[in-house]
Amino acid sequence: MKITQDTVCFITGGATGIGFAIAGALAARGAKIMLADLHQDKLDAAAAKLSAKGADVATVVCDVADEAQMRAAAQATIDRFGKVHVVANNAGVALGGAPGAIDMKDWRWIVDINLIGVAHGVEIFTPLIQSHGEGGYFINTASMAGHGTGPGMAPYHATKFAVVGYSEALKQELEPSNIGVSILCPAWVKTDIHRSSFDKPTGGGDESDPMFQTMSDVINSGLDPADVAEWTAQCVEADRLYIFTHPEFSGAIGQRFAMIKADYDACSDFPAFQKKDAG
């Protein structure tokens, strides 16, 4: 999809991090921007930075886990710009922990934001995009954590794998409406996502904790969000389904595919699953 001065973009988690960077990359191509986030002060600061570069930008306070707030944010976008073309479902949080030790309130918190927040964006904005007949695009932020796993972050992996699968289905279902889909799958990027777990319902979080310090060091050594955003914009214009950012993870993806293939092939040795010739 070509991004032009007639393109209207709605971006969740848009005040900081990857969301703000995506807003900048799209605005640089002339797009009009509606930033959605939880905090008005952060939205004001983000809008001021974009406006200083000549962007046509507006803001709306919105919790993506709240359907009513998302519907109100969608209406605010229509009221301000008349229509919407691109929806970046970017807002997300992180949550880890050992199996059997994660409170279900925290589980529901991460699912409501990372998965249901994306579903709200798709279900609410799809009819609005279809209504003007000009086509559109969804950018759904997943993660490399949606393609491979490691210990300690099972809830995060679960939600990101879900976003990947959901988006793969959307790609097929929305194509007849001329609505494209990309899945943003970064690894380490310099954002504050590691601090998001401090906001979980059960509280907690200690910046002096060695695990937090290690995660901070890893994330702070990651990619610049502006580079991720520029690549994202290029991939949207190229209609790429997957937006990967870290070539060094190719081997890990290959290992996972090899394991899947080996276990899939194994089922052919079980007699009940072998295809019988007709007659």
- For residue 215, the model assigns a pLDDT of 82
**Residue at 258 is within a domain:** no
Q: Which of 164, 137, 130 is nearest to 232 (CA)?
A: 137
Question: Positive or negative, the Cα torsion across 127, 132, 137, 141?
Answer: negative
Rounded mean pLDDT, 138-165: 97
Tell me, what CATH number does 127's domain have?
3.40.50.720
pLDDT over 90 at 206, yes or no = no
Rounded mean pLDDT, 36-47: 98
pLDDT over 80 at 164, yes or no = yes
DSSP 223: B
Domain count, the chain: 1
**Residue at 1 is within a domain:** no
Element (H, E) at 211: helix 210-220
- For residue 197, the model assigns a pLDDT of 86
- 264 annotated active-site: no
**Residue at 257 is within a domain:** no
pLDDT over 70 at 278, yes or no = no
Taking only the tens place, the pLDDT of each residue in 222-276 is 999 999 999 999 999 999 999 999 999 999 999 999 999 999 999 999 999 987 6
**Residue at 274 is within a domain:** no
- For residue 125, the model assigns a pLDDT of 99
Name the pLDDT band for 277 (thresholds 50, 70, 90): low
d(CA 129, CA 124): 10
CB 35 within 8 A of CB 58: yes
**Residue at 213 is within a domain:** yes
| List of residues 6+ apart from 245 with CB closer than 8 A | 185, 186, 187, 189, 223, 227, 228, 231
d(CA 143, CA 267): 30
Name the pLDDT band for 204 (thresholds 50, 70, 90): confident
Range 247-279 burial, b when 16+ CB lie within 10 A, else e? eebeebeeeeeeeeeeeeeeeeeeeeeeeeeee
**Residue at 3 is within a domain:** no
Torsion-angle region of residue 61: left (phi > 0), alpha (psi -120 to 50) or beta? beta
Rounded mean pLDDT, 134-146: 98
Q: How much is the mean pLDDT over the chain?
A: 95
| Predicted structure pTM score | 0.95
Rounded mean pLDDT, 81-92: 98
Among the listed residues 156, 166, 242, 264, the single catalytic one is: 156
Parent domain of 145? 8-249
